[in-house]
Amino acid sequence: MQALIDFLSLHPALALGVVFAAALLESVAVIGTVIPGSSVVVAAGILIGLQVLDPYWVAVVAVIGAILGDGFSYWLGRHYQERLGTWWPLSSHPELLARGHAYFAKHGGASVFLGRFLGPLRAIVPVVAGMSGMPVFRFTVVNVLSAIAWSAAHLLPGALFGASLQLAGAVSSRLFILLAGLVAVIWLCIVLFRLAHRSARAFVSRQRDRVVGWARARHGVLPRIALSLLDPERPESLGLLIAAVMLLGGAWMFLGITEDVLSSDPLVQFDHLVFVTLQKLRNDFVDNVMIAVTELGSAIVAITVIAAVALVLAWERCWRTLAYWLTAVGFSQALVWILKMMLERARPIVMYNGADRFSFPSGHVASSIVVYGFLAFLLARAKSPKIRFTVTLLVVGLVGLIAFSRLYLGAHWLSDVLASLSLGTAWVALLSIVYMCHVRPEQLPARALSVTALCTLMLVGAAVVATHHAADAVRYAPRQFTSSPTMSDWWVDGWQRLPARRTEVDGDHEEPLSVQWAGTANQMVQELEAGGWHRPPPWTLRTTLLWLLPSTTVGQLPVLVKLHQGESPTMSFVREVDPSHRLVIRLWPTSYQVVAPDDLHGALWIGMVTLERLVHPANMATLAMTDQDFDRPAAQLGKYLQTQGVRLKIKRRDTTAVLLVH
């Protein structure tokens, strides 16, 4: 391994070709059993950690090589079938094919994925898959996924080791203990889950039989409901039970989210975190894709699909199903409009007029899940499990993409989307229950319905994308908020209007925000650095591993991220007190400009200063604990700044000090 690392480090351009060849040849029939492809890829990972090789290109060539190797072996098996057994070296080692056939017969398509990680079988299983007639598409999907997993499983440990060669000896025993403990916990959880599953299954079966026996001996509404949901002799009972669970779960979730929105509970704080995070991740390419997806969920597309399905049902004289179809979409849209007008919740970004300017719940998401969800129920009813699974997967994918597009484009809060999904699920489940119980079986034209809905969605969706995309690109463009309100009385008493404590995503109030600073980022950096403060080390593989060493000093460690209203600090600074104690400043920008003494204007930042001390539990690792005395760190920061001639004053709010700095 050391010789291989030395060679590849001297020839980085050649290294990519070596990685590609090793990944490919290791998967080729028969010869792959003796090619050390795994060792080559691990060595390449080590060179990634040493910053000799580019991680992107190494991963690409490793994945492509692994895909082509297994693909070639699959082609051999599919093309030559049993004749391969008469060729050398398989003719001399017939046990290889026998083992491959046995493994494939036991695990099926999963053997292609698992076999790549098993040395004796990795080059035989793809051949057997081809000989056994495994469908090309299915093999390709498993082949690609296994190649990605195999490459990651060999590159990542190597990269971790290569980035931390100097720490490897010091932390290896601790890493082993932690990993062994993690494996033990996972194994214990699996064992307990299996025991609980076996016990729960038997218990549930006994209770179901008791309830069914009780219901069969009685008359009334409750016994009839119990039999319709639990009687194993009724083929529709499982579907009714699933729909009942979806109805109760969806209704409970919708009411809970509505309560959180009305009372500004922690979910609203998480709304802000999701919105800010997604807006930071936006780029032009994904914007165009998400705009096209959200246009597929627009009112024009939904109404056209509704009308097309209604026409097919009317043509086939499925009048009862048509009535349910129109009731499903009509009532849901009326309910969404009523809720919008009642709650009047503002959108994250103003982009609509009229009733559409309100955010809760999302009309796009609600109409999508009702239209396509109820259509999926009609198409999948009384069909085979494979058809039901396929239809469900397609609908979940479409509705999920539309829901995510509303979040990504800033048109809705997370709670709006979750409320719409839960409300739509509950409404579709309720309609499904009533339909199964009260509508006599109608011969629905499933093929005509599916083709009509799909073609309408594609054609009308493409037309809407073509005609509305330019205008929607302007509507959903990322907003640049440049104007900030001015707080003219901040220096006197306006500071009291800012939050007193850091707020976690779950709404809990944590450390006091003891610093308010008016100035630019460059000014703060200059004044703090002049006072002996500096930026903490960044989070890297090396600094992360340092937490596993009990001998680590405080100056070597990065600062743990703490969120305020869903956002991480924009700037952090540290000052070492001694090898095991340090002062930490975390600062967040506000939306305010302030007017301070001498009519000086500046942006207003809010933050906290804390004292952290290192502890070493069981002498196995290092932890940073925050001291609960918050006044002393604020006083120390004020002292350091006063020596630099910075204008400041200390105010009291409740029992804590607030440092105003300009």
3-state secondary structure of 140: helix
Tell me the CATH number at 289: 1.20.144
Residue 77 lies in a domain: yes
Q: CA quadruple 497, 501, 502, 504: dihedral positive or negative? A: negative
Distance between CA atoms of residues 40 and 26, nearest Å: 10
Statement to judge: residues 466 and 493 lie in one domain:
no
Cα separations in angstroms, 372 against 445, 452, 576:
16, 13, 60
For 548-561, the pLDDT digits (tens) are: 777 788 888 888 88
Q: Which segment of 199-203, 285-289, 532-536, 640-644 scores lowest on mean pLDDT?
A: 199-203
β-partners of residue 582 are 576, 612
* pLDDT interval class at 165 (50, 70, 90): low
Q: Which segment of 91-95, 374-378, 515-519, 620-624 scores lowest on mean pLDDT?
A: 91-95
Statement to judge: residues 518 and 471 lie in one domain:
no
pTM, to two decimals: 0.58
Residue 229 lies in a domain: no
Residue 613 has pLDDT above 80, yes or no: yes
Statement to judge: residues 91 and 187 lie in one domain:
no
Residue 24 lies in a domain: yes
Give the per-residue pLDDT at 351. 76
Give the per-residue pLDDT at 55. 80
Statement to judge: residues 248 and 287 lie in one domain:
yes
Give strand ranges (E) for 479-620.
486-487, 501-503, 509-512, 515-518, 571-578, 581-596, 600-615
* pLDDT interval class at 3 (50, 70, 90): confident
Statement to judge: residues 366 and 464 lie in one domain:
yes
For 350-379, the pLDDT digits (tens) are: 777 776 778 888 888 888 888 888 888 888
**Of 176, 193, 223, at which residue does a domain stop?**
223
Statement to judge: residues 242 and 375 lie in one domain:
yes
Distance between CA atoms of residues 64 and 27, nearest Å: 12
Residue 231 lies in a domain: no
The H-or-E segment that residue 441 falls in is none
Of 79, 132, 82, 72, whose CA–CA distance to 107 is shortest?
Answer: 132
Greater confidence, 572 or 191? Answer: 572
Q: CA quadruple 489, 490, 496, 498: dihedral positive or negative? A: positive
Statement to judge: residues 501 and 367 lie in one domain:
no
Residue 84 has pLDDT above 80, yes or no: no
Residue 168 has pLDDT above 60, yes or no: no
Q: Look at the chain and report how many structural domains it folds into.
A: 4
Residues comprising the chain, all counted: 662
Distance between CA atoms of residues 94 and 85, nearest Å: 7
Residue 481 lies in a domain: no
Residue 410 has pLDDT above 60, yes or no: yes
- The count of C-alpha atoms lying within 13 angstroms of the C-alpha of 373, restricted to the half-sphere facing its C-beta, is 27
Nearest 5°: phi and psi at 482? -105, -25
Residue 556 lies in a domain: yes
Q: Which amino acid is at 375?
A: L
Nearest 5°: phi and psi at 110? -65, -20
**Of 424, 449, 475, at which residue does a domain stop?**
475
Place of tokens 């979910």: 267
- Which residues are within 8 A (CB) of 637 and not within 5 positions of it... i.e. 6 or more apart? 515, 583, 585, 609, 659
Statement to judge: residues 113 and 243 lie in one domain:
no
Give the per-residue pLDDT at 573. 92
Q: Which segment of 144-148, 265-269, 488-492, 640-644 scores lowest on mean pLDDT?
A: 265-269
Residue 459 has pLDDT above 70, yes or no: yes
Q: What is the mean pLDDT of residues 475-491?
A: 71
Q: What is the mean pLDDT of residues 401-412?
A: 87
Q: Which segment of 83-92, 475-484, 629-638 scores lowest on mean pLDDT?
A: 83-92
CB 100 within 8 A of CB 73: no
CB 162 within 8 A of CB 45: yes
- The count of C-alpha atoms lying within 13 angstroms of the C-alpha of 501, restricted to the half-sphere facing its C-beta, is 12
Statement to judge: residues 382 and 427 lie in one domain:
yes
Give the per-residue pLDDT at 166. 44
Residue 475 has pLDDT above 60, yes or no: yes
Residue 230 lies in a domain: no
Distance between CA atoms of residues 642 and 531, nearest Å: 9
* pLDDT interval class at 100 (50, 70, 90): low
Give the per-residue pLDDT at 277. 76
Statement to judge: residues 159 and 183 lie in one domain:
no
Greater confidence, 244 or 229? Answer: 244
- Out of 508-512, 606-610, 622-626, the most confident range is 606-610
Q: Which amino acid is at 191?
A: V
Instruction: Show the domain range for 103.
Output: 2-163
For 316-359, the pLDDT digits (tens) are: 888 888 888 888 888 888 888 888 888 878 888 877 777 677 88
CB 584 within 8 A of CB 571: no
Query: What's the per-residue H, E or C state across 246-300?
Result: HHHHHHHHHHHHHHHHHHCCHHHHHHHHHHHHHHHCCCHHHHHHHHHHHHHCCHH
**DSSP-assigned states of every residue in 496-515:** GGS-SEEE-TTS-EEEE--E
Residue 454 has pLDDT above 80, yes or no: yes
Q: Mean pLDDT for the chain?
A: 78
3-state secondary structure of 526: helix
Statement to judge: residues 617 and 641 lie in one domain:
yes
Give the per-residue pLDDT at 440. 67
Residue 203 lies in a domain: yes
Statement to judge: residues 603 and 628 lie in one domain:
yes
Distance between CA atoms of residues 8 and 139, nearest Å: 33
